Amino acid sequence: MRHFLPSLLLAFSLLAGCAPCTDYCEEQCLCDGQGDGDVADSSCVETCMDTLELYSPDVREDECTARLSVLQEECR
């Protein structure tokens, strides 16, 4: 159990760190017209997330946050 808990905490912290990237990808897909109403096309979101893998984990969240901010200004 001791070894399981740190792994579980690490998984949650990684997921939490990806929230800006998920938000960015969903909004990018919707802005590009790839979705239905308020729901982005899942294949578009997956492709977007895959492209963000180019960034190291410690830089990825900041990059996604910056991109999301620009996207929200441009895609109104």
Domain parsing of the chain, residue ranges: 18-74
Percent of the chain with pLDDT over 90: 67
Q: Is the pLDDT of residue 17 over 80?
A: no
Split at pLDDT 50, 70, 90, the class of 18 is low
- Asked whether residue 38 carries a pLDDT value surpassing 70, the answer given is yes
Mean pLDDT, range 3-13, rounded to an integer: 39
- The yes-or-no verdict on residue 7 having pLDDT over 80 is no
pTM: 0.73
d(CA 53, CA 26): 16
Across the range 18-39, mean pLDDT stands at: 92
* C-alpha span between 74 and 41 (Å, rounded): 20
